[in-house]
Amino acid sequence: MAYNQLTPEETSVIVGKRTEMPFDNEYDNFFQDGTYICRRCNNPLFPSKAKFEAGCGWPSFDKHFPNAVKTLPDPDGERIEIECAHCGAHLGHVFIGEKFTDTDTRNCVNSLSIRFVPKDKKLPKILNKEEYEDKNKKSI
């Protein structure tokens, strides 16, 4: 199964590594019990218990599931980018040392990079890059 179909706006953020507008996004002021997954590949990223109000205009999480997120230096040299460890989708940035929570970590995430699955719903299958690439090779 290929990656999920993305809108042009989602592609701009997830692939183009852009940032959506603050305060006017799907999950900034959203607090329900469940799991946040990668919008492109369905990889579980953040438990809802890790979400907190940082007042920054984007969803903020102080923890992620083990091995779900990878970090790398941002091209601006100032920040640390976070990506889905499974598919490399751009999620946002991580900030350390702001003292918002006990973990002293704020994963600042674009709503367009994630999707919420309520606690009572089954998580969707994680989609694979190889299957995505195979599908695209066939269409060339």
- Report residue 139: phi and psi, to 5°: -90, -5
87 counts as catalytic:
no
d(CA 69, CA 82): 6
DSSP state of 98: -
Of 87, 78, 80, 86, nearest to 107 by C-alpha is 80
CB 30 within 8 A of CB 53: no
Residue from 38, 84, 87, 108 carrying the catalytic annotation: 108
Enzyme catalytic residues: 108
